[in-house]
Amino acid sequence: MKRTLYILIMYTLFTACNSDISIDRQLDAEADIFPDYKEITIPCNIAPMCFQLNDAKGIDTRLIIEGGNEKIQVKGEDGDFDIPIDKWHKLLAANRDADLQFIVCRLEDGKWAAYRPFTMHVASDSIDSYLAYRLIPPGYGLWNAMGIYQRCLESFEETPIMENRQTEYNCMNCHTFQSQNPKKMCFHLRGNHGGSVLVRSGRVEKLNPEFPDTIKGIAYPAWHPYADYIAFSSNRVAQSFFVHHRQRIEVFDTRSDAVVLDIARNRVITAPELSSTRDWETWPAFSADGKTLYYSTAPIVEPMPQEYKKVHFSVCTIGFDPESGTFGQQVDTLFNAGDSLSFNYPRESPDGRWLVYNRQECGYFPINHKESDLWLRDQKTGETRPLEAANSNDCESYHTWSHNSHWLGFSSRRIDGLYVCPYFTHIDDNGQATKAFIMPQRHPRTFYDNQLNSYNIPEFITDAVEVSQHTIAETVW
Amino acid sequence: MNKRLAYIFATLILVLLVLHLQHVQRYLFFFREQMMMFLYDPSIIADRYLGVAGPAQLLSHLMVQFFKLPYMGAIVTGGLCTLSALLLWKSLWRITQSLLLLPLAILPTIFICDGLFDVYYDYVGLVAFFLFTLFLFIDQWFAPRLSDWWRMAATTLLALLLFWMAGAVAMLFAVCTLVIELVAAPRKSWQLLLPILAVAIVGAICVKTSLLADYRYAFQNGAYYEPILKPTNFYHTPWILTAVLPLLAPLAHFVSDKLRPLWLTVCSLALLVLVGLFAVHSANRNGQKMYPMIAMDHFIVTHNWQGLLDSPYTKSGNFLLMNRLNLALSHEGKLLDNFFDYPQVGPYSILTELKQLSLDVEITTTLSEIFYQMDNIASAMEKAFNTVEGLRYGSPSNMQMLVRTNIIFGAYPLAEKYIRLLEKTLFYKDWASDQRRYLYNEELINSDPEYGAKRKSLPPDCEEFTQSRGAYADLLLTIRTNPKATAARDYAIGYLLLANDTPHINSFADEFYGTELMPETPQRLQEAIVAANEKDLDYCRSRGVSEQTIHQYQQLKQTVVDARRNNQEIGGLLRPQYGNTYWYYLLVTSPQIAKLIEQSKKQPEASMSAH
């Protein structure tokens, strides 16, 4: 008797959890889901693209994912579909360079009704396994906890690289890796224990080079693709609040210069063109071959912030010799801002084929400009165009290239206009971007609703950073 | 008899403690409730409360959310303290059941309550101590019932469990079990070195693996102090007292044996009175610093403006208190009429100097409310945002402000995000759900008496920056945009009066007298106009100054001339008749402020104000 009862209970539980459904009727409507993952291209190694059917509280829901001969069904909890990770990766592996079809169903009057299906295309290009970012409040002065974290993009695991609770809750910022290599990282600490922290193959150092008098505090780093140089800008940053404007704040510099830190010789290299007292120079970054330094520059405008609309940054280049650590004599203007635009944050793809940059109306801080969009330059032809499929009505900024030059990660405020989230877009061989998608989460609605931090400076890395927080903290204390 | 007496004592302690705490920490409890948001969300609970000391933090937050209710803070805290004392006392029963120890057992929690006067000492410190006494009681209960090895294993496991649940207090537990054993069964006490060793090792591992940032968080009471700040040595005291208590047990036992029951009761009662007197003394010593501000903040958060004006903290002259007072006056529509009934000490009485203090969470809540009242929505939002982000677990009233300001700005996705979070709280969910009706409903917002009026004060797509040219410039922008912004108007006038800014007083009157914003000139502004233009009374009349005001001013002038001729001190002379006028501020208060500023320049260390 007991055995029969046991079998009956187990059978009921098993069938309750796993019963596959069959669709009784089609709905003439699209599923309203969050995040919007419809008709996107995804990497062949991405974590499950879980999503939620909106307004489905208390309703029985199912998700059917089909690709080739594989098919999985996922039961929804209030419309939240938690796709099993093993089955998902199996599905991806079987459907490289093919489409997955997603059918969202809901139970209506005891019958399963299906919304119009949508697809995700599985690209054969993989994405770098990890994304490193700083989690900070998108704030205006006060902070409490912040840290640099790494998220495995093949799963949902997030681990801290360094949190400020290890260093008395000071401000920490701008991290950079050499060519997406997790073994070579640099970031800054402010306030107590301030300085630049360099991690190289498990060794941690605190950089303490002698800076020229004009350089006060360095930020926005970019590592040379193969040599021991890190480009920085030295910024005296300020911010002001608009009384009532579509943009909340304007961030500006009272002074900025670009410099290169020669790690091997513990010295700072600069050039008159990069540290002019008449111009701002910022966002330096090396080209893929390491022989050119890109940077944004604009004539200094005063008074700030009142004249912020007159600030227009152009993107310039200057030659750099990694052998000798010297700059060339000639500065070329790649994008001339004129008096109506501003170009910032130039980043060349690792294969040197594309250059992606920010285009906005004015200023140098794209993250606060709603009109800021990502643009792409074909480095062979010089042709430029917006990444229309990836851009939104809100700002896009802080882009990062995957090591294979086929995935672009970037920050966007498109969900709510304030909290910055990481998005990805595929760049094909012709430089065409696909519709961007937000970094997948296991329960995306709850996750992004509860998130009160911004994902600041997302940077792809090919593997996890392994040096421990404690090792870093011991070095900087 | 002893037990019955003990419970009578415990009840007495509970009642006295609750009354005492209600008297001295009433507003601190309200303040603590505002320093965190407990969100009923499984993912947030798992994220926040599963780490080291997470369960204690969970208990703490669960309790503190109820501090919003009157008396609840005192009842819960008094209850925790009494229960802790009782458990601690009972934990020593293996040594003695002396009643004399009970008043001493309450002493550590008195020190913890003393520590709670500092808002940076987290309430979890008391909860952790309570869990410690509970674990100690359990340990001592089964101690005589287990064999030596099982005892050692069980105590070690309890210590490790407590380390996970409450953090650093596990070290106190391990030490106390050893000390009790040293007194109760000295020969076997070495076995209880193991729990200490286990906690030390696990604590060190937690630090080395970065689960905890520092050894302070693994082993000291300072673990429960705001991590950004360093606690003083005072916070060691309750733990040291607790560890020493078992050593006093034999003495208490000896004295109890010698005394008759009546004398024992009298002595215990006397000891309890002494502890009580100490509690009162320490409360008086510690309750002076931030308490008035915290009390006023409660009135601000609950929008009880009359309560604020009736509070005993309105006569201080401290800028931060005056900011709060003037906010209440403004809400009651009495900012100008009753302005000089209070000790205004310059423009910072309206709005404290932002550069110095704008990043302190103790003031950003108030600043946010002040800016909101001034219709400076961008600044109100900024300050509320800073407070929410500056406090580790958020702040409900500031999140409400973020909802309000984002609705006014029409930033609906953001307002909805904050509404969703508030809907996960116990006490704010109804308010939050009610705000949903405003989302994407322009018509309703524009017709709403609060939101609609604030919206009218927003200059359309304005290139101006707030706080960049001072408070007066921002106020001017508001009242030029919205002629019905009377609160902003009164603030602007108040600012001009306190700054004695004659050119702007005149230009203000020139621009706004006879307009919708200021059809009649407020009395205090009339006083300023006539004082600034005493040689051109026709100008005064053309700016709304009444004949009566002119006459009063002439009388005042004559009084001052007579007083000076007779070498009389004008302050005392003018106070009865003119003490609440701008003229008194101009002739008496301002020179005193100027003198103070001069003195402070000569002595850089001297403080300008009471804060």
What's residue B140's pLDDT? 94
Token pair for residue A112? 């399963």
Taking the CA of residue A178 and the nearest CA in chain B, the distance in Å comes to 25
Helix, strand, or coil (residue B331): helix
Residue A207 has pLDDT above 90, yes or no: no
First to last CA, chain A: 68
Q: Each residue of B376-435: pLDDT tens digit?
A: 999 999 999 988 988 889 999 999 999 999 999 999 999 999 999 999 999 999 999 999
Helix/strand/coil for A474: helix
A242–chain B Cβ distance below 8 A for any pair: yes
Record: contact A144-B392, CB cut-off 8 A: yes
CB contact under 8 Å between A450 and B43, yes or no, is yes
State the pLDDT confidence band at B610, using cuts at 50, 70 and 90.
Answer: very low
Is there a contact between A141 and B413 if contact means CB atoms under 8 Å apart?
no
HSE-up of B60 (CA within 13 Å, CB side)? 26
At A188 the pLDDT is 87
Q: Which residues contact A410 (CB under 8 A, 6 or more apart)?
A: A374, A390, A396, A397, A398, A399, A400, A422, A423, A424, A425, A436, A458
Q: What is the pLDDT of residue A10?
A: 52
Cβ pair B464:A242 closer than 8 A = yes
Does the distance separating the beta carbons of A245 and B417 come in below 8 Å? no
Q: What are the tens digits of pLDDT across the range B40-57?
A: 999 999 999 999 999 999
* Contact flag B228-A244 (C-beta cutoff 8 Å): no
Domains of chain A: 25-122 (2.60.40), 130-476 (2.120.10.30)
Residue of A nearest to B455 (CA): A244
Q: How far apart are CA A342 and CA A373, in angstroms?
A: 11
Q: How far apart are CA B459 and CA A26, in angstroms?
A: 50
Whether the pLDDT of residue A14 is over 50: the answer is no
**B378–A443: do the CB atoms touch at under 8 Å?**
no
Find out whether B377 and B456 touch, Cβ atoms under 8 Å.
Answer: no
Tens-digit pLDDT profile for residues A351-391: 999 999 999 999 988 888 999 999 999 999 999 999 999 99
Name which of A142, A246, A443 is nearest B389 (Cβ-Cβ): A142
Characterize the bridge pairing of strands A342-348 and A314-321.
Answer: unpaired
Count the alpha carbons within 13 Å of A213 in the hemisphere toward its beta carbon: 1
- State mean pLDDT over B210-217: 92
Task: Flag whether pLDDT at A16 surpasses 50.
Answer: no
The answer on pLDDT for B352 being more than 90 is no
Tell me the per-residue pLDDT of A432-457, one tens digit each, with 9 for 90 and over: 999 999 999 999 999 999 999 999 99
Q: Report whether pLDDT(B607) > 50.
A: no
> Taking CA atoms, what residue in B is nearest to A444?
B43
Determine the residue of chain B that is closest to A453 in CA distance.
B389
Q: Do B208 and A470 touch (CB under 8 A)?
A: yes
Return d(Cα A443, Cα A21) in angstroms, integer. Answer: 23
Name which residue leads in pLDDT, A214 or A182: A182
Please give the span between the terminal C-alpha atoms of chain B, in angstroms, as a whole number.
53
Residue range B445-480, pLDDT digits in tens: 999 999 999 999 998 877 888 887 888 999 999 999
Where residue A228 falls among pLDDT bands split at 50, 70, 90?
Answer: very high
Residue B18 has pLDDT above 60, yes or no: yes
Q: Residue A12: is its pLDDT beyond 70?
A: no
- Give the tens place of pLDDT for each residue, B103-120: 999 999 999 999 998 889
B positions 353-392 inside 8 Å of A (CB): 358-359, 361, 364, 376-379, 382, 385-392
B426-434, Cβ contacts within 8 angstroms, sequence gap of 24 or more: B426/B38, B426/B40, B426/B65, B427/B65, B427/B68, B427/B396, B428/B37, B428/B396, B428/B399, B428/B400, B431/B400, B432/B400, B432/B403
Of B287 and B591, the one with more pLDDT: B591
Q: How far apart are the C-alpha atoms of B507 and A444, rounded to whole Å?
A: 56
**B465: nearest CA partner in chain A:** A242
Peptide bond into A303 cis (omega under 30): yes
Separation CA A155–CA A48 (nearest Å): 7
Assign A270 to helix, strand or coil.
coil
The pLDDT of residue B288 is 63
Tens digits of residue pLDDT in A154-169: 999 999 999 988 888 8
Q: For the ranges A313-327, A387-401, B246-260, which has the lowest average pLDDT?
A: B246-260
B residues 39-78 lying closer than 8 A (beta carbon) to A: 39, 41, 43-44
Q: Which residues of chain A lie closer than 8 angstroms to B364, CB-CB? A: 142
Cis omega (within 30 of 0) on the bond before A35?
yes
Q: What is the pLDDT of residues A78-112, one digit of tens each?
A: 999 999 999 999 999 999 999 999 999 999 999 99
Let me know: does A92 contact A76? Beta carbons within 8 Å. no
Q: Give the tens place of pLDDT for each residue, B535-580.
A: 999 999 999 999 999 999 999 999 888 888 888 888 888 888 889 9
What pLDDT, on the 0 to 100 scale, is given for residue B193? 95
